[in-house]
Amino acid sequence: MATSSSPSAPPGAWGRTAIALVPLLATLAGLGWGFLILRDLQVPQLVLVLLAIVWGVGGMVLLFTTANFFAEQLPGPWIARVQAWIFVGPAMLMLIWALALPAVRTVIISLYDSIGTKFIGLDNYLGVFTDANMLTVFRNNLLWMIFGTAFTVSLGLLVAVLSDRSRFETLAKGLIFMPMAISFVGAGVIWNFIYAVRPADGAQIGLLNAFWVALGGQPEAWTAFFQPWNNFFLIVIVIWLQTGYSMVLFSAAIKGISTEILEAARVDGANEVQVFFQIMIPMIMGTIITVTTTIVIFTLKIFDVVIVMTGGQYGTSVIATEFYRQYFTYNNDGYGSAIAVVLFIAVIPVMVYNLRQFAQPEAF
């Protein structure tokens, strides 16, 4: 983009620039001072919370405004050069600091021993892949990936197809989508209550055991001693949470199929099942792949549900909870980091695939 300024700097322009730096520096100093005051302030919590919000949101707006004011006072050609970095710079700095560098640093930590002083090469990785406990962890992640993804995708597709032909579409989609607004911890409580178990001589307060006992079974601790099936009772929770997401995307894709094609097939004598498998499915393949990729990544990273429901005990531990346990409970920095790197490596194929998808303008 061309700028309106002249290419050569008029005399005295740098002096003006120096003065324009004052508001920016004053904002920075003011924010730092504000932070120190807020940190030690003793006021009612509501006041503190409001002040913190004003400090954070207002501070950011002020920083951008004063930084741009400064950039616009620069001599001619410098405006465009500096301003681009004021726009892109903060986001990139945050990204590199919060995600790119940590990824690299975690790899480095994983090559050291538990307290991070001695370089031990790939020993941590050797430990990760030979530990019997870790093999259970990997098996669980595989279960999550396969069954979590399969059910979330197919149920989402089913609801999308059905609701497309129903008069109650909005209501149905709203209800299925609702769990998306619930936290994993909240969902954990909801499902713990469903799986609750009571001794056989009393009334069951958990819905599942109430049914099970009514059908003649013995009360069962579904998420604890029912191994290895307890993993599936945890996976159900994520299916419940995520089906809304896949449904919304499939619903949009199905509405994008032209009705003429579907009608033509029906006129040619195709029944609904054939229409679904031979026309709809191929036409929304792009969406199916997109949704599947997101859910695969999601299930690979699964953490909250497991930690809330079982804390990773009873053979339900997954990569992310095991990493948390090693690193934060046992202070086993190197080993914990190695587990995190394994998670990262597991996601790489999906990432490469995603990058290719982004390269195609019409993935849908």
Partner 1 sequence: MYADKPLNKFLSSLAVNGVLALICLLWTIPTIGLLVSSFRDRLDINSTGWWTIFPHQDWVKVAELRPEEGVDRNTPMTLGGVTHTFEEFRDGVQVGNQRYKWIGNRRIGYVQVQEYRWTANTDFTLENYRQVLAGGNYTATLKDGTTVTELGDDMSGSFLNSLAVAIPSTVIPIALAAFAAYGFAWMRFPGRKMLFILVVALLVVPLQVALVPILRDFVTLGINGTFLAVWLAHTGFGLPLATYLLYNYISELPRDIFESAFIDGASHFTIFAQLVLPLAVPALASFAIFQFLWVWNDYLVGLIFIGATPGSQLVTMRLAEIVGSRGQDWHLLTAGAFITMLLPLTVFFSLQRFFVRGLLAGSVKG
Residues 104-143: x/- map of binding to partner 1 (CB under 8 A)?
-xx--x----------------------------------
Q: How far is the CB of 68 from partner 1 (least distance, A)?
A: 4
- Smallest gap, in angstroms, from Cβ of residue 244 to partner 1? 8
- 59's enclosing H/E stretch is helix 45-72
Smallest CA-to-CA distance from 247 within 151, 363, 149, 155 is with 155
Residue 279 or 346: which CB sits closer to partner 1? 346
Q: Does 337 bind partner 1 (CB under 8 A)?
A: yes
Q: Name which position in 75, 112, 148, 206 contacts partner 1 (CB under 8 A).
A: 206
- Choices 6-14, 131-139, 172-180, 221-229; region in contact with partner 1 by CB under 8 A: 172-180
Is residue 216 classed exposed, middle or buried when 0-12, 13-18 and 19+ CB atoms within 10 A define those classes? exposed
- Spatial contact of 343 and 323, defined as CB atoms under 8 Å apart: yes
Of 151, 190, 131, 126, give the one whose Cα is nearest residue 317. 131
The correct pick among 22, 25, 26, 92 for binding partner 1 (CB under 8 A) is 92
> Whole-angstrom Cα distance, residue 21 to residue 73?
9
The only residue of 8, 15, 42, 99 in contact with partner 1, by rule CB under 8 A: 99
Binding mask 40-79 for partner 1 (x = CB under 8 A): -----xx-xx--xx--xx--xx--x---x--xx------x
Site string for partner 1, 286-305 (x = CB under 8 A): ----x------x--xx-xx-
User: How far is the C-alpha of 261 from the C-alpha of 225, rounded, in Å?
Assistant: 52
Q: Which of 10, 30, 174, 228 binds partner 1 (CB under 8 A)?
A: 174
- Number of residues written out for the chain: 364
Closer CB to partner 1, 53 or 281, in the complex: 53
**Smallest distance, Å, CB 227 to partner 1?**
20
| Residue window 209-248: x/- pattern of binding to partner 1, with contact defined by CB under 8 A | -x-----------------------------x--x-x--x
For residue 231, CA distances in Å to 139, 160, 236, 306 come to 10, 27, 9, 9
Residue 327 as a binder of partner 1 (CB under 8 A): the answer is yes
Q: Is 274 in the site for partner 1 (CB under 8 A)?
A: no
User: Does position 201 bind partner 1 by CB under 8 A?
Assistant: no
- Which 143-162 residues touch partner 1, going by CB under 8 A? 155, 158-159, 162
Residue type, 148: G
Report CA dihedral (175, 181, 184, 186) to the nearest 10 degrees: -80
Buried/exposed 69-104: b ≥16 CB within 10 Å, e otherwise: ebbebbbeebbeebbeeeeeeeeeeeeeeeeeeeee
Dig out the tokens for 243 from the structure.
């089906």
CB nearer to partner 1: pick between 46 and 267: 46
Q: Is 207 in the site for partner 1 (CB under 8 A)?
A: yes
Tokens for 362, please give them. 């019409």
Cite the DSSP H helix spans in 196-332: 207-214, 230-256, 259-267, 272-274, 281-283, 285-300, 304-309, 319-324
Q: Which stretch binds partner 1 (CB under 8 A): 118-126, 134-142, 165-173, 220-228?
A: 165-173
Q: Does 181 bind partner 1 (CB under 8 A)?
A: yes
- Count of residues binding partner 1 (CB under 8 A)? 123
